[in-house]
A = this chain, B = another copy of it.
Amino acid sequence: LEDGNYSVIKETLEDLHIGDIAEIVEYVSKEDRVAIFSVLDVDEASEVFEKVNEATRNTLFEELDEHIIVDIIRELPADDAVDVLSELPKEKARQYIRKLIRIEPALTAKIRYLMRYEEDTAGGIMDPVFVAVKADATILEAIEEIRSQEIDEDFFAVYVVDNDGKYLGDVRIRKLFTAPPQTKIKDLIEEDRIYVTVTDDQEHVSNTFSRYDLITVPVVDQENRLVGRITADIILEVAKEEADEDIYAMAGTDPDELENTSVFNAARIRMTWLAPCLLGTAVTATVIFAFKDKLFVGNFSYVFGIAMAFVPMIAAISGNAGLQTSAIIVCGLASGHIAAERLKQVFLREFRIALLVALACGIIGGIICWGLPRIVTFDNAEQAVEISALDIRVTLAFSVAMFSAIIVSTTLGLLLPFSFRKIGIDPAISSGPLVTTANDSISVAIYLSLTLLLVSL
């Protein structure tokens, strides 16, 4: 495709959308990336630069000349420039800002203003460009005002402010077309004033969009002054990002991994999750050893053999039952559906479901534990006799242990997401491998204790 023939590249790219060019840039070689940027106009280049994923942008920061990057950042809207700069190490970002301030003082002031807000708040994701008109203007005056603002971004609602810039409400664009031109803006204001505040968490903003089916929302500061707007495309990105984060947390890995081109670093990130699991299962092994000295003598050795074969079952089933519960809670918390008023209702419901599930698994598990050894093992009659004297108790121990382990793991699955959230940990971690491994140890301990207890009777 690309062997140095720049004019061909240029022609090919001209027919493509920014989103498509960005995707190509993400997976061509270093040389091709630099070649693509050399043929793009600076405004296209800046859009592509903003659209590629973080990993690619990191490499671009290194591969492109510094003055090209400065030109690219100059072309970006202030909010995108902030996003891009905040991915850099602080010192590096300051360096670019110092360069920018000389050539683009107005943009740099905006960037500095936006940089005050945390990345994952309404202030951090908002676009400071919006269309605002005064309440006592007529439609004609408002349209004149919009024209004079020369905003080159799309807008989807016209915001109304008072003389201090305080937010009063919005006017649907279709009203500007359909109402008589002399109508006062204040007569068209929508009564339902939905807005968010700069300090609101982006999850809250995302839930506000879902709750009220929004396309765009105004952002106000602490004094209720209109300072920006957030559009649904940003929120869609946020929602997908947060969903991916939850899925990665459940699998015990990190979205950062993908931003990392190095295989070694990716393996390192995965190991930071697997290493605690190794320790957790070492605890499980220790639990088994602790019982081995007691179960592993005389007649009991057969019991131990049978009991051991069912350890994976009790660990997997109780772990999964807990996971089912915690996934429901994690999704409910993320979407805001589980609010404080509903807690009692949710707990009661989950606890009842857990009782039914534990009962069913206890019974089915007991039947398997009783039947399976008879079907698959012990050709020799002596073993079979010894076993049959014990196996009702082994079965009973397994059945009760399965029931108890599921109740324990479901309770953890119910409570941990709330506790994690309270102490500022992502609730999705409670559906991850760390909690599942901890669950393993607990259920195996319950299981072997019960077996020992019943068999010793």
Contacts and interface: CB of A to CB of B under 8 A. Distances in A.
Contacts of A72: none
Interface in A259-317: 263-264, 266-267, 270-271, 273-275, 277-278, 280-282, 284-286, 288-290, 292-293, 296, 301, 304-305, 308-313, 315-317
B240 A210 contact: yes
Tally of this chain's copies: 2
Contact of A377 (B289, B316, B328): B289
A257 interface: yes
B335 A240 contact: yes
A209 interface: yes
Nearest to A248: B327
Contacts of A284: 309, 312-313
B156 A292 contact: no
A67 to B, nearest CB: 27
Contacts of A331: 244, 247-248
A352 interface: yes
A178 interface: yes
A385 interface: no
A365 B281 CA distance: 10
Size category of the binding interface on chain A: 35 or more
A364 B154 contact: no
Interface in A223-281: 231-233, 235-237, 239-240, 243-244, 246-248, 250-253, 257-258, 263-264, 266-267, 270-271, 273-275, 277-278, 280-281
25 contacts: A18-B212, A19-B212, A210-B240, A231-B232, A232-B236, A235-B236, A239-B240, A240-B335, A243-B247, A248-B327, A248-B331, A250-B431, A252-B320, A258-B328, A263-B349, A277-B317, A281-B313, A285-B310, A286-B372, A289-B372, A289-B376, A301-B301, A304-B305, A312-B444, A315-B315
Interface of A: 17-20, 23, 27, 51, 143, 146-147, 150-151, 154-156, 172-174, 176-178, 192, 194, 206, 209-216, 231-233, 235-237, 239-240, 243-244, 246-248, 250-253, 257-258, 263-264, 266-267, 270-271, 273-275, 277-278, 280-282, 284-286, 288-290, 292-293, 296, 301, 304-305, 308-313, 315-317, 320-321, 323-324, 326-328, 330-331, 335, 341-342, 345, 349, 352-353, 356-357, 360-361, 364-365, 368, 372-373, 376-377, 379, 431, 433, 436-437, 440, 444
